[in-house]
């Protein structure tokens, strides 16, 4: 079945780079997403990548996709204390018949000053 | 423009009571989703509405859960005879389906069943 796995916790120092990893099982995934959830808040879409892309860069964020290994990563450059949050990886399909996203359990990023 | 809104933001109820959770999607979004986030867990898909098509109810955990979407806009998630294990944050999302599955989430309703 469909499954998305993430490590649960990552701690970095302010100014360092953070790399959050995700693996998924569904090879037919069309889109892969990264969402951020700050304490007590809803989910904020950070970025997404189409499955036919290897990399996407958006300011401090770099997404790498290894479709062969079904591995997705999110790199945050120059990590700031405001980046402390839970980061969710999710996979979805472009088919209009399948609207749901399958989420990982989330990676808690702790940024130490 | 306005994002996805949900009400109430918090709900405390007694075991056995029914609750209704409301979602107002982004105007013009044809797709609407409900998810559940239990403490320390990822998001669990519940139900998906797309236009006038039959909803995908494959994620509803039991027949105590139901949802409807009136007029292709506002949606209500109803939980009947609530149980303590129903305590969670219920998140609604909407999307412009023609752009793929980029979903925009509301702030959620935090449900506590005593």
Lowest-pLDDT range of A104-113, B9-18, B31-40: B31-40
Query: Which residues on chain B are in Cβ contact (under 8 Å) with A42?
Result: 4, 91, 105-108
Task: Enumerate the residues of chain A whose CB falls inside 8 A of the CB of residue B59.
Answer: 100
Give mean pLDDT, residues B53-75: 91
Give the mean pLDDT of chain A.
89
Mean pLDDT to the nearest integer, B34-62: 88
CA–CA distance, B25 with A63 (Å, rounded to integer)? 28
Taking an 8 Å cut-off on Cβ atoms, the answer to whether B45 and A100 are in contact is yes
Option in B35, B42, B45 nearest A106 (CB): B42
Determine the Cα–Cα distance for residues B45 and A47; give it in Å rounded to an integer: 20
For chain B, report the end-to-end CA distance as a whole number of angstroms: 37
pLDDT surpasses 50 at A96:
no
Chain B, nearest residue to A96 by Cα: B97
Tell me whether A23 touches chain B (CB under 8 Å): no
CB count within 10 Å of CB A87 equals 22
Q: What is the pLDDT of residue B96?
A: 83
Phi, psi of B99 (to 5 degrees): -95, 10
Helix (H) or strand (E) holding B91: strand B88-95
Residue in B101, B108, B109 to test binding to A, most A beta-carbons within 10 Å: B101
Tell whether the model's pLDDT for residue A98 goes beyond 60.
Answer: no
């Amino acid at each position: 079945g469909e499954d998305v796995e993430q490590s649960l916790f990552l701690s970095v120092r302010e100014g360092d780079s953070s790399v959050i990893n995700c693996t998924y099982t569904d090879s037919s995934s069309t889109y892969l997403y990264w969402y951020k959830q700050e304490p007590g808040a809803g989910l904020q879409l950070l970025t997404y990548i189409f499955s036919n892309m290897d990399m996407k860069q958006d300011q401090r964020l770099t997404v790498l996709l290894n479709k062969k290994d079904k591995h997705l990563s999110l790199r945050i450059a120059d990590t700031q204390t405001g980046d402390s949050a839970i980061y969710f990886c999710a996979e979805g399909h472009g088919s209009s018949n399948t609207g749901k996203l399958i989420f990982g359990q989330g990676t808690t990023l702790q940024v130490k000053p | 423009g306005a994002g996805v809104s949900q009400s109430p933001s918090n709900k405390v109820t007694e075991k056995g009571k029914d609750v209704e959770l409301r979602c107002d999607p982004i105007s013009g979004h044809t797709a609407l989703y409900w998810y559940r986030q239990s403490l320390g867990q990822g998001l669990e898909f519940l139900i998906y509405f797309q236009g006038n098509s039959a909803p995908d109810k494959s994620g509803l955990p039991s027949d105590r859960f139901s949802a409807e979407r009136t007029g292709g806009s506002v949606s209500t998630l109803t939980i009947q005879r609530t149980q303590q294990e129903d305590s969670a944050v219920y998140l609604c999302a909407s999307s412009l389906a023609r752009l793929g599955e980029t979903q925009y989430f509301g702030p959620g309703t935090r449900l506590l069943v005593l």
